[in-house]
Amino acid sequence: MPLSQDDKDEIRLLIARELRDAVKGAVSAILNAPMSLAQARYSRPEDMQEQEARKQIVREIGDSVIKSVEAMVREADARIVEKTDPERADRIRSMVPEF
């Protein structure tokens, strides 16, 4: 049984939302990874600086990926809305949230 275009659009939106949530969860898990007690006790200031630099890189890459996935979610949402309200769909496409 072939899927209708409406069904495909709904599936596209669900996948985009799940992908967004998965990326946000992965970035959060990386940034909030636990540090062992031995690491915390014996770490040098240079090690701490290196760890902060790694976290900053993860934040920057994570923000870029999340913005890209958010654009996918907006486009999928706009495709669904476009059938009933084309003007609103254009507004959804043009919205870019600030993080």
Alpha helix (H) ranges present in 32-85? 37-42, 45-82
Instruction: State residue 44's pLDDT score.
Output: 80
Instruction: State residue 35's pLDDT score.
Output: 74
Domain boundaries, the chain: 5-94
CB 78 within 8 A of CB 12: no
CB 99 within 8 A of CB 67: yes
Q: Note the pLDDT tens digit of each residue in 34-81.
A: 877 666 666 788 877 888 898 899 999 999 999 999 999 999 999 999
CB 54 within 8 A of CB 39: no
Pick the closest to residue 97 from 74, 65, 75 (CA basis): 74
